[in-house]
Amino acid sequence: MECTQECANCESKAGISRPAKINKDLTNRLNRIEGQVKGIKSMIEKDVYCDDVLTQISAVQSALSSVAKVLLQSHMRSCVAQRLKDGDDDVIDELIKTVGRLL
């Protein structure tokens, strides 16, 4: 699975890249999250009611989880699948640790 943009982690493991479409989607999502975080900072500075700030923090956490899910799916379909095809079973332990950190 070759692309113009490379996954640094996967490149060092198996020379596999994420599709440009996924990178664009992830970048767009992260740009929105960045805006949300700036909004939260502004809310804090303006001394907005705590419950309203916490609601926005929850929204950012959910958005970050969504980014992680997309990235994990891409990683499993490309990097992990290729390494398994190449006989590298160590990728399973790596994936288990990664999923553990996400949970």
Structure tokens at 42: 């502004």
Q: Does residue 41 surpass a pLDDT of 70?
A: yes
Q: What pLDDT is attached to residue 33?
A: 98
Give, for 18, the enclosing helix (H) or strand (E): none
**What domains sit in the chain, N to C, each tagged with a CATH number?**
19-102 (1.20.58.1000)
Structure tokens at 19: 């599709």
Q: What is the pTM of this model?
A: 0.80
51-79 pLDDT, tens digit each: 999 999 999 999 999 999 999 999 999 99
Top pLDDT among 18 and 63 is at 63
Q: What pLDDT is attached to residue 13?
A: 55
| Region of residue 87 (left: phi > 0; alpha: psi -120 to 50; beta: else) | left
Structure tokens at 91: 């990728």
Integer Cα distance of 46 and 20 in angstroms: 39
